[in-house]
Structure 1
Amino acid sequence: MQKTLYKMTMGLGIMVLAAQQVHARTCAPRDEVIKRLTETYGETRQGIGIARQGTVMELFASDQSGSWTITVTLPDGITCLVVSGQAYETMAEALPPNV
């Protein structure tokens, strides 16, 4: 049991260190992130939402290339890339009612 707890603790520590390294590479002031998404990928903002504690989630996408990116901007103005992908399509379909 102690070995398992030790391994879990070490694993958690490694994940925290890795997350700090990823944060350093994927976050920057918002204007820098937006400029790069626009100039490099041709993406524009397609959607926005407010999350906890004043965090803003935005979806950027390009109609030409189909690339897309989801960002999160913290109250201090730092924007982080959350996920990105390809084959973005705009859809306007009604969801079925809750049963």
Structure 2
Amino acid sequence: MKTTLFKMTMGLGIMVLAAQQVQARTCAPREDIVRRLTETYGETRHSIGVARQGTVMEVYASDQSGSWTITVTLPDGITCLVASGQAYDDMAEALPPNV
């Protein structure tokens, strides 16, 4: 459990750093990004996580097309596109028992 949590935290940290590096090209006010994901790609929010210093990571996906997008919203309200792709699938796997 601790290893999985550590990996997830590290992954989110990397995404936040990546979002800060490309902010000039792929970032906009959150409401603009969400509107575009909804209207253009039919994506809705499927999951959310909070990182350090108030940064929020969200996964948007379309149940119809399978497209997905990961966004990071910074404390100032600016949202950055971090990654996108195809073949999104919701999974509900049981966590492994603690060893």
Q: Normalized against structure 1, the TM-score is what? A: 0.76
| Offset from partner CA, 1:25-55 (integer Å, 9 cap, x none) | 2000000000000011100000001001000
RMSD value, Cα: 1.7
Alignment match, 1:45: 45
2:60 counterpart residue number: 60
TM-score, scaled to structure 2: 0.76
Report which structure shows greater RCO (CA 8 Å, sep ≥6). Answer: 2
Q: Secondary structure at the match of 1:91?
A: coil
SS of the residue corresponding to residue 36 of structure 1 reads: helix
**Structure 1 runs of 4+ with >4 Å offset:** none
Number of the residue aligned with 2:27: 27
Unpaired runs of 5+ in structure 1? 1-18
Larger Rg computed on CA atoms:
1
Q: CA deviation at 1:22?
A: 3.4
1:32-86 per-position Cα deviation (integer Å, ceiling 9, x unaligned) = 0000000111000000010010000001000000000110001110000011111
Aligned residues: 81
Q: Which amino acid in 2 is paired with 1:79? A: T
